[in-house]
């Protein structure tokens, strides 16, 4: 029997995105790119994206490896952000960050989080918050033109 | 008075560790992270409490009763530690804040005066970062060179390679006694003999050794030996550096302040004798008392009991974990301490660690502060179960059960 705490974060959708990550490839050429590294876990990802003249993210992909939470988060992030404007994407970054840190309850205040609320459970796992947010920080850094982020 | 020695056995000692009765996430705690920090027995807590409730005062400076009692208790702690590692003289036992601090003492005091450009320091691939970073810093400062003894696929040191690394420029060999990641027990006596044959001193990082096996620094022959209180049933924030008197006497102090001096003027300082020369400022008195008590606890329990129990746990854990589909053990040396590091096909150690935690099982996941070693095995992380004498086979069963659950989640 799966413990309820286990199922709170390792939901089927997270396990599925971990097993078959979406947009899991190098984007070449890419207008924006950054590397993200969590030195504590050894999680390492690259996020790549292209943005058109009207500010719409036309393509966003990632490569790299790490734990299930970080990989599923990167996979779901790329699926959610494709087709969004940069402004919308940045807003989601902030909302996701707030949720992961326990500062936003997606049940009462879902904002634009939608399916991403499966990651709400990490707020009870302080050691894993950085796993869920790593790809988002990397995306944010790529947009800002910073090539590298680490979560420490 | 009944013979205490007869009462304290591996079977009974578990009762001395009240924390082992707690629950985590509603499940009984299974504590298998002893290589990170071991737990404290009541006897150590009592010594700690006694100091704080009866004679809390500064040491070596008061004529009043409390200060004298505190001084006596701290020095008794030093003597217990001397006995534990069989140093020739308690003056050779210096209190530090831990193993890291002890290695840094040797680096700052011995290293900065003895190492010159082009000199070489030998370490191994399996060192903890605390036995790499200080030497890297020293080498950067002195334009000296680090040489690294390679590790075999099984996790043993390649002693032939070591022999060939020893050169006329070798100034120090600094080596881990027991690997915190692999559990490998290194032949430090032989390593020391080989270094001494060329007049090279040896530092042994004993952080993972002292609570698991008898350590006799005179028999090992090493020049320095470092250990931490919190990995040997003692408190955090305290550790020791053993150093041969012939070295310590020649070494300059590395921190200045009170307690480490005989007299001070603005023109001249007369340094105190050993060990105080290296203990500037008010020490961690409670820690020193607690660590001394932990040493007594270990000696009362006896290494025969400890090793018998830990060997059984190691063999059982190795056998049970190997039987789990997809599990691969990292570190299969012939001489091993009760540490089992493993990886599971397709599941990241951090996910395993989180799921085990939900089941009340505490293990460590990650690189265990041994990144060069991880790289050697092409890994970024492992899951590590590290046992102590108070652990039980039933706890290994719970670990394996929780691991199977984790694997089910991911399959
Ligand atoms: C082999 C080894 N050396 C050194 C250390 C550092 O000990 P401390 O953090 O107590 O200074 C550790 C602890 O993690 C260790 O396992």
Beta-carbon contacts of B355 under 8 Å, excluding residues fewer than 6 positions away, are A3, A6, A10, B402, B405, B406, B409
Total domains, chain A: 1
Residue at B260 is within a domain: yes
Q: Are residues B193 and B335 in the same domain?
A: no
Q: Are residues B157 and B25 in the same domain?
A: no
Average pLDDT, chain B: 96
Residue at B37 is within a domain: no
Q: Which tokens hold the place of A63?
A: 């490569």
Cβ distance of B366 and A69 shorter than 8 Å:
no
Q: Residue B374: its chain A contacts at CB < 8 A?
A: 42
What is the spatial order of strands in the sheet that B202-205 belongs to?
A: B93-96, B239-243, B224-228, B202-205, B170-176, B120-124, B145-149
Q: What is the pLDDT of residues A26-80, one digit of tens each?
A: 999 999 999 999 887 788 999 999 999 999 999 999 999 999 999 999 999 999 9
What pLDDT is recorded for position A1? 46
Q: Which domain holds residue B56?
A: 46-300
Domain boundary among B300, B325, B355: B300
What pLDDT is recorded for position A150? 64
- pTM of the entire predicted model: 0.93
Residue at B120 is within a domain: yes
Q: Which residues on neighbouring strands pair with residue B327, listed in sequence order?
A: B344
Considering only residues B133 and B258, tell me which one the structure prediction assigns the higher pLDDT.
Answer: B133
Q: How far apart are CA B45 and CA B51, in angstroms?
A: 10
Residue at B38 is within a domain: no
Domain boundary among B300, B335, B353: B300
Q: Residue A42: its chain B contacts at CB < 8 A?
A: 366-367, 374, 380-381
Residue at B40 is within a domain: no
- pLDDT for residue B1 is more than 60: no
Q: How far apart are CA B286 and CA B302, in angstroms?
A: 24
Residue at B144 is within a domain: yes
Classify B197 as helix, strand or coil. Answer: coil
What pLDDT is recorded for position B195? 98
CA distance A119 to chain B (A): 14
Q: Which domain holds residue A122?
A: 4-150
Q: Are residues B351 and B295 in the same domain?
A: no
* Secondary structure of B350-389 in HEC code, one letter for each residue: HHHHHHHHHCCEECEEECCCCHHHHHHCCCCCEEEEECCC
Q: Are residues B267 and B319 in the same domain?
A: no
Give the percent of chain A with pLDDT over 90.
78
User: Pick from A6, A41, A65: which is nearest to B355 by CB?
Assistant: A6
Q: Are residues B61 and B171 in the same domain?
A: yes
Q: Are residues B293 and B405 in the same domain?
A: no
CATH number at residue B334: 3.90.1150.10
Residue at B269 is within a domain: yes
Instruction: Kindly provide the ipTM of the predicted complex, given to two decimals.
Output: 0.88
Total domains, chain B: 2
Give the percent of chain B with pLDDT over 90.
91
Q: Are residues B311 and B281 in the same domain?
A: no
Q: Are residues B310 and B240 in the same domain?
A: no
CATH number at residue A31: 3.90.1010.10
Classify B151 as helix, strand or coil. Answer: strand
Residue at B325 is within a domain: yes
The set of protein residues with a Cβ atom below 6 angstroms from ligand 1 is B 35, 98-100, 128, 130, 176, 180, 205, 207-208, 228, 239, 369
User: Pick from A6, A65, A68: which is nearest to B358 by CB?
Assistant: A6
Q: Residue B405: its chain A contacts at CB < 8 A?
A: 2-3, 6
Give the percent of chain A with pLDDT over 70.
93
Name the band, by pLDDT with cuts 50, 70 and 90, for residue B358. very high
Catalytic residue check, B369: yes
Name the band, by pLDDT with cuts 50, 70 and 90, for residue B76. very high
């Amino acid at each position: 029997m799966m413990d309820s705490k286990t199922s709170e974060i390792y939901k089927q959708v997270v396990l599925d995105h971990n097993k078959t990550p979406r947009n899991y490839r190098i984007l070449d050429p890419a207008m924006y790119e950054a590397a993200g590294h969590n030195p504590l876990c050894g999680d390492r990802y690259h996020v790549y994206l292209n943005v058109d003249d009207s500010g719409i993210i036309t393509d966003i992909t990632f490569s790299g490896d790490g734990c299930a939470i970080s990989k599923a988060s990167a996979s779901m992030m790329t699926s959610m952000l494709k087709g969004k404007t940069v402004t919308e994407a940045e807003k989601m970054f902030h909302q996701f960050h707030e949720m992961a840190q326990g500062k936003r309850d997606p049940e009462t205040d879902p904002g634009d989080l939608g399916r991403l609320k499966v990651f709400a459970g990490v707020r009870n796992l302080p050691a894993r918050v950085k796993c869920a947010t790593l790809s988002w920080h990397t995306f944010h850094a790529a947009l800002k033109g910073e090539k590298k982020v680490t979560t420490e | 008075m009944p013979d205490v020695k007869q009462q304290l056995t591996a079977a009974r000692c578990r009762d001395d560790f009240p924390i082992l009765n707690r629950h985590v996430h509603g499940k009984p705690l299974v504590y298998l992270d002893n290589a990170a920090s071991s737990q404290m027995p009541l006897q150590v807590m009592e010594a700690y409490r006694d100091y704080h409730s009866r004679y809390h005062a500064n040491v070596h400076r008061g004529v009043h009763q409390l200060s004298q009692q505190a001084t006596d208790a701290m020095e008794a702690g030093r003597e217990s530690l001397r006995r534990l590692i069989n140093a020739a003289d308690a003056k050779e036992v210096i209190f530090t804040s831990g193993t890291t601090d002890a290695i840094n003492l040797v680096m700052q005091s011995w290293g900065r005066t003895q190492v010159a450009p082009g000199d070489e320091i030998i370490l191994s691939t399996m060192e903890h970062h605390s036995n790499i970073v200080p030497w890297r810093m020293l080498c950067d400062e002195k334009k000296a060179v680090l040489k690294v003894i390679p590790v075999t696929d099984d996790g043993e040191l390649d002693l032939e390679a070591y022999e060939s690394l020893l050169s006329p420029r070798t100034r120090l060999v600094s080596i881990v006694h027991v690997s915190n990641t692999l559990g490998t027990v290194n032949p430090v006596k032989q390593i020391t003999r080989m270094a001494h044959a060329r007049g090279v001193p040896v530092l042994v990082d004993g952080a993972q050794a002292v609570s698991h096996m008898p350590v006799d620094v005179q028999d090992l022959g090493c020049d320095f030996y470092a250990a931490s209180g919190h990995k040997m049933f003692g408190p955090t924030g305290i550790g020791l550096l053993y150093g041969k008197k012939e070295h310590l006497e020649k070494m300059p102090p590395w921190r200045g302040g009170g307690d480490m001096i005989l007299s001070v003027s603005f023109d001249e300082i007369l340094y105190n004798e050993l060990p105080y020369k290296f203990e500037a400022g008010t020490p961690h008195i409670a820690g020193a008392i607690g660590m001394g008590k932990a040493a007594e606890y270990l000696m009362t329990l006896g290494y025969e009991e400890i090793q018998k129990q830990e060997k059984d746990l190691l063999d059982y854990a190795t056998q049970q974990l190997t039987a789990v589909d997809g599990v691969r053990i990292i570190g299969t040396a012939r001489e091993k301490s009760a540490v089992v590091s493993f990886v599971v096909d397709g599941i990241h150690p951090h996910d395993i660690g989180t799921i085990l935690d939900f089941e009340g099982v505490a293990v460590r996941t990650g690189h265990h502060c041994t990144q060069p070693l991880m790289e050697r095995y092409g890994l970024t992380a492992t899951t590590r179960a590290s046992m102590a004498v108070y652990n039980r086979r039933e706890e290994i069963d719970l670990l394996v059960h929780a691991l199977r659950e984790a694997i089910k989640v991911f399959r």
